[in-house]
A and B are shown apart, each in its own frame.
Chain A
Amino acid sequence: MNYLTKENGLLSWLLTGDHKRIAILYLISLSFFFFIGGALAGLIRLELLTPQADLMATDTYNKVFTMHGVIMIFFFLVPSVPATIGNFLIPMMIGAKDLALPKINLLSWYLYMAGGLLALYTMMTGGVDTGWTFTTPLSTHYVNTNVLTTGLAAFIAGFSSIFTGLNFIVTIHKMRCPGMTWFKLPLFVWSNYAAAVLMVLATPVVAIAIVLIALERTIGIGVFDPTKGGDPLLFQHLFWFYSHPAVYIMILPGMGVISEVISTFSRKRVFGYTAVAFSSVAIAIFGFFVWAHHMFIMGISNYAVIVFSLLTMLVAVPSAIKIFNWTFTLYKGSITFETPMLYAFGFMGLFTIGGLTGVFLGVSGTDIHLTETYFIVAHFHFVMVGGMLMAFLSGIHFWWPKMTGRMYPEKISQLAAVVTFIGFNFTFFPQFILGTLGMPRRYASYPPEFQVLNVFSTAGASILGVGYLLPVLYLTWSLKYGAVAGNNPWQATGLEWQTQSPPLTENFAVTPIMDHEAYDYEWLEGQKAKEVASVG
């Protein structure tokens, strides 16, 4: 008996309060939206194969990249790790039976679906062509596409993310099992906690910005309209006040996955636990004070540029700390290279490149040349796809045995990890060079001398596509044919591994007591010895 077999029928899933079932609902729906967003990315890459806008009209192209951005950001990246892996594992990692607010958790999935389906409906009925940034006055006065419905979709999805964040904060504060002090929490919990704080504090601001756009479009209140004394830059301040922290909402939970995976597959505690935990908090705090680095060339005061550039340098440091701490977690470990570890290595390499190129954009001088070009596209995708998506896949493979009770096939999934890594670099590395050359983003056509690099990029995207399809196939296959996993196939230390796979609805038969440190592999050895003794 486990959470999957306890009840049957569609309704038992659609009305469930079980965080694990809700996580599975999220996983299925997120994958669906990811493949729609991915198909749109494929269309973009196909269009850019040639310098002319020949595959589709420029209007269509504009709608395609807008929907790619909207779907990937609001309906994949923001909820990805927290809503699936986080939802499934945070209660288990802290020794709780469920999240603190199970009904709110289910509501947040329904809101996510409502927002997502509305976005899809919008796409089917004409789409929207403002870019995912909804820049005013373009979005308020100059386009006739579905700005309002797309805005509403993002607005609704925003509440889903606020509810998830709220639920995590309450749960982590109130539901920890006996002995689970803050500094015994797995680092995955720390990073999700930091992300949850950002979700709760930052998301309302983008909701306000969307409401103001709606009011401006419908009744012309003029907050952003310069002819009525409004300020079009105000919108960008509001938008980036959310959307910059949002990239930390997206990446922090992924960093948490990497901490777990690297520790487990080197059988060694995370190097400098406290530094890694606090670096998540530091990223969350500093992340709130760097938003205007998206606006260095927009005519904000030179002194504001200096301050925001300096703060951006500071937010880069905790990320560097994490990279080095992960690296030294390997030191004197006992390392194996299963799929989650390969993805984690991929994450470290790509996130390092993504992070360092972020510094190029945070330094005011170089930002002038590189912003609004393919350099920024490449940087963002290195962090979000190279970083976040690698972390997501790493986590899905790592916890797959726990979620389903089955092992995925190791060899083919290692191959998929390598294919993804190669395809990713082929796709996005040329875009750094394109950006340095000055190729603007969001162009359906471009000067012919940029073609070679664009062909590389499109070719890479097709390899990347294969890398993403493979897991869907073999993971589905493994549900029935995968080897039975057992409780703790990786010999990991987290509480989630000390219970059965797949877990009971209540997670634990007996409430666990946290009587050791996080990542205490000696404790784990002791437990094993005890078991052997008791069997003997």
Chain B
Amino acid sequence: MSHISPVLWQFLVKWMTDFALFPPEASKIAPQMDALYFFMVLVSLIGLTIVILLVTSFSILYNKERHPVAIQVEGSTLLEATWTIIPLGLFLVMFVWGALIYFRVYNPPANSMNIYVVGKQWMWKAEHPGGQHEINSLHVPTGRAIQLTLISQDVFHSFSIPAFRVKREAIPGRYTTVYFEATVPGTYHLFCTQYCGTEHSHMIGDVVVLPPKDYQKWLNESTSGMSLAQNGERLFASLSCAACHNTRPDARGPNLANVYGAKLALTSGGTVLADDAYLREAILNPSQHVTQGFAPIMPTYQGQVSEEGVIALVEYIKNLNSDYRIQQTTNTTDLLPEGEGKAVPAVAAPAKSGMVKQ
């Protein structure tokens, strides 16, 4: 072959070495999802084989030459019940199995490390808690539960990592989350799978899975010197949020310390859980979310703070414990999640070493 057409030969060699039939399994959920996938493939193949065998054998047994006169049959309740109930049963097994996996992917364990991802035409921006910032790539360690909190700055995007078998839409105006735990170090595809305009097919990148040690090294090398919460603190100061949100007894806005995760009573009645989504809404549409006992005087920050800015503010508020500080220059170690005891200890370690370098 190679002497007949070298070009074609080269193509074939290239194809065969660069040819995939099944994606790598690089996350904890991947083998679980694949087990269900192969179960469904098996059931489908059995079902298809039954139909093909029946159609073929009936076609042979009852073709006109062999069987010139048809024998009329009305139907059979028993047979029809069989092929109603068996598929239904199998579909229900698949449904339950699938739902269990679904809940696992979209309900991250409480101790997951959170990374924010902002989608925009046409790039992915990741914000790590330690202040590391990446575009069209995502570095994660093996053996850690990771939660991504996604939002879009413009249109719908979808964050897909086939090797992890996870995918989540990034939606304008709303946080969504997804969870995975990487298992095998390597570089994997990151795709935007929701059509998002001209350069949709270029909204791709790499997910780099590193062993914990290398991940630590990457964190240290990629630090910007400020954690995400510190960036938030800066923004908090520059927007003069502390003019109202402070600890003084006559403060015009509620004290934000320990607010994250608390249940707040609203002027409009009812209570609300102060989570990421609520804090974002309260910054962008404050008049809709006035805390009981305060006047609706806060202006909207819609259009003044980017989604990354909101994320930094939320991260700052998240980490705000009792020590309410507004000055820009801070002793960084105080702000680290570790010091707060609220966030995950294991994240804090890398984040801290990243900070200390300054």
* Interface flag for A531 (CB, 8 Å): no
Q: Which A residues are CB-close (under 8 A) to B171? A: 232-233, 298-299
Q: Select which of B21, B83, B99 is within 8 A of A306 by beta carbon.
A: B99
A58, A143, A296, A313: residue with the most chain B Cβ atoms closer than 10 Å: A313
Bound complex: CA of A205 vs CA of B149, how far in Å?
33
* Interface flag for B194 (CB, 8 Å): yes
Q: Determine the residue in chain B with the shortest Cβ distance to A266.
A: B70
The smallest C-beta distance from A190 to any residue of chain B, in angstroms, reads 15
Contact mask for chain A residues 165-190; partner B; CB cutoff 8 A; 1 contact, 0 none: 00000000000000000000000000
Q: Determine the residue in chain B with the shortest Cβ distance to A371.
A: B167
Bound complex: CA of A266 vs CA of B69, how far in Å?
10
* Interface flag for B76 (CB, 8 Å): yes
The smallest C-beta distance from A150 to any residue of chain B, in angstroms, reads 15
Q: Determine the residue in chain A with the shortest Cβ distance to B164.
A: A369
Q: Which A residues are CB-close (under 8 A) to B160? A: 372-373, 438, 440
> Given contacts A310-B95, A442-B200, is CB(A332)–CB(B103) below 8 Å?
no
Bound complex: CA of A437 vs CA of B160, how far in Å?
12
Q: Determine the residue in chain B with the shortest Cβ distance to A265.
A: B64
Closest 10 CB pairs of A and B: A438-B162, A226-B173, A365-B101, A365-B98, A363-B98, A272-B75, A372-B193, A364-B102, A330-B58, A443-B201
Q: Determine the residue in chain B with the shortest Cβ distance to A65.
A: B195
Q: Which B residues are CB-close (under 8 A) to A521? A: 70, 72
Q: Restricting to A301-323, which residues have a CB under 8 Å from any CB of B?
A: 302, 305-306, 309-310, 313-314, 316-317, 320-321, 323
B residues contacting A by CB (< 8 A) are: 15, 18-23, 33, 36-37, 40, 43-44, 47-48, 51-52, 54-55, 58-59, 62-64, 67-76, 79-80, 83-84, 87-88, 91-92, 94-95, 97-103, 105-107, 121, 154-156, 158, 160, 162-163, 165-169, 171-174, 176, 189, 191-202, 285, 302-303
Check if B18 sits within 8 Å of A448, measured CB to CB. yes
The smallest C-beta distance from B147 to any residue of chain A, in angstroms, reads 14
* Interface flag for A452 (CB, 8 Å): yes
Bound complex: CA of A347 vs CA of B22, how far in Å?
28
The smallest C-beta distance from A342 to any residue of chain B, in angstroms, reads 11
* Interface flag for A16 (CB, 8 Å): no
Given contacts A271-B75, A365-B36, 9 further A-B contacts (CB under 8 A): A58-B198, A133-B195, A142-B197, A233-B171, A309-B102, A331-B73, A332-B71, A335-B67, A367-B98
Check if B169 sits within 8 Å of A299, measured CB to CB. yes
Q: Which A residues are CB-close (under 8 A) to B84? A: 317, 320-321
* Interface flag for A514 (CB, 8 Å): no
The smallest C-beta distance from B282 to any residue of chain A, in angstroms, reads 14
Contact mask for chain A residues 264-283; partner B; CB cutoff 8 A; 1 contact, 0 none: 00111101111100000000
Q: Determine the residue in chain B with the shortest Cβ distance to A279.
A: B84
Check if B174 sits within 8 Å of A440, measured CB to CB. no
Q: List 13 A-B contacts (CB under 8 A).
A: A58-B199, A135-B155, A135-B194, A297-B168, A302-B103, A309-B98, A323-B51, A331-B62, A334-B69, A336-B63, A356-B47, A366-B98, A449-B18
Q: Restricting to A363-419, which residues have a CB under 8 Å from any CB of B?
A: 363-369, 371-373
Q: Determine the residue in chain B with the shortest Cβ distance to A370.
A: B37
* Interface flag for A488 (CB, 8 Å): no
> Given contacts A297-B158, A333-B70, is CB(A364)–CB(B98) below 8 Å?
yes
> Given contacts A227-B302, A369-B162, is CB(A334)–CB(B64) below 8 Å?
yes
Q: Which B residues are CB-close (under 8 A) to A433? A: 21
Check if B201 sits within 8 Å of A444, measured CB to CB. yes
Q: Which B residues are CB-close (under 8 A) to A364? A: 95, 98-99, 101-102
B20, B70, B168: residue with the most chain A Cβ atoms closer than 10 Å: B70
Q: Which A residues are CB-close (under 8 A) to B76? A: 271-272, 328
* Interface flag for A359 (CB, 8 Å): yes
Bound complex: CA of A436 vs CA of B20, how far in Å?
10
Q: Which A residues are CB-close (under 8 A) to B192? A: 440
Contact mask for chain A residues 324-341; partner B; CB cutoff 8 A; 1 contact, 0 none: 110110111111110000
Check if B70 sits within 8 Å of A332, measured CB to CB. yes
Q: Determine the residue in chain B with the shortest Cβ distance to A61.
A: B201
Q: Which B residues are CB-close (under 8 A) to A441? A: 193, 195
Check if B107 sits within 8 Å of A324, measured CB to CB. no
The smallest C-beta distance from A47 to any residue of chain B, in angstroms, reads 10
> Given contacts A137-B172, A297-B167, A330-B55, is CB(A359)–CB(B91) below 8 Å?
yes
The smallest C-beta distance from B119 to any residue of chain A, in angstroms, reads 12
Bound complex: CA of A226 vs CA of B23, how far in Å?
36
> How many residues of chain A have a CB within 8 Å of chain B?
96
Q: Which A residues are CB-close (under 8 A) to B303? A: 227
Check if B72 sits within 8 Å of A268, measured CB to CB. yes
Q: Select which of A53, A328, A363, A522 is within 8 A of B79 by beta carbon.
A: A328
The smallest C-beta distance from A291 to any residue of chain B, in angstroms, reads 16
Check if B83 sits within 8 Å of A313, measured CB to CB. no
* Interface flag for A223 (CB, 8 Å): no
Q: Which A residues are CB-close (under 8 A) to B103? A: 302
Bound complex: CA of A372 vs CA of B191, how far in Å?
10
Q: Which A residues are CB-close (under 8 A) to B52? A: 349
Q: Determine the residue in chain A with the shortest Cβ distance to B176.
A: A299
Q: Select which of B15, B18, B33, B72 is within 8 A of A369 by beta carbon.
A: B33
> Given contacts A368-B165, A372-B160, is CB(A275)–CB(B70) below 8 Å?
no
* Interface flag for A445 (CB, 8 Å): yes
* Interface flag for A129 (CB, 8 Å): yes
Bound complex: CA of A143 vs CA of B198, how far in Å?
9
Q: Which A residues are CB-close (under 8 A) to B167? A: 297, 368-369, 371-372
Bound complex: CA of A255 vs CA of B68, how far in Å?
27
Q: Which A residues are CB-close (under 8 A) to B74? A: 269, 272
Check if B198 sits within 8 Å of A62, measured CB to CB. yes
Check if A359 sits within 8 Å of B40, measured CB to CB. yes
Bound complex: CA of A450 vs CA of B19, how far in Å?
7
A273, A310, A436: residue with the most chain B Cβ atoms closer than 10 Å: A436
Q: Determine the residue in chain A with the shortest Cβ distance to B41.
A: A360
The smallest C-beta distance from A57 to any residue of chain B, in angstroms, reads 9
Check if A365 sits within 8 Å of B155, measured CB to CB. no
A143, A316, A334, A349: residue with the most chain B Cβ atoms closer than 10 Å: A334
Q: Which A residues are CB-close (under 8 A) to B69? A: 334
* Interface flag for A478 (CB, 8 Å): no
The smallest C-beta distance from A54 to any residue of chain B, in angstroms, reads 12
Q: Restricting to A224-248, which residues have a CB under 8 Å from any CB of B?
A: 226-227, 229, 232-233
Bound complex: CA of A130 vs CA of B84, how far in Å?
40
Check if B87 sits within 8 Å of A316, measured CB to CB. yes
* Interface flag for A352 (CB, 8 Å): yes
Q: Which A residues are CB-close (under 8 A) to B155? A: 135, 137-138, 141-142
Q: Determine the residue in chain A with the shortest Cβ distance to B75.
A: A272
Bound complex: CA of A372 vs CA of B193, how far in Å?
6
Check if B68 sits within 8 Å of A297, measured CB to CB. no
Check if B201 sits within 8 Å of A349, measured CB to CB. no
Check if B102 sits within 8 Å of A305, measured CB to CB. yes
Q: Which A residues are CB-close (under 8 A) to B107? A: 302
Q: Which A residues are CB-close (under 8 A) to B73? A: 268-269, 271, 328, 331-332
Q: Determine the residue in chain B with the shortest Cβ distance to A321.
A: B84
Check if B156 sits within 8 Å of A138, measured CB to CB. yes
Q: Restricting to A417-459, which residues have a CB under 8 Å from any CB of B?
A: 433, 436-438, 440-452
Bound complex: CA of A129 vs CA of B100, how far in Å?
37
Q: Which A residues are CB-close (under 8 A) to B189? A: 438, 447
* Interface flag for A357 (CB, 8 Å): yes
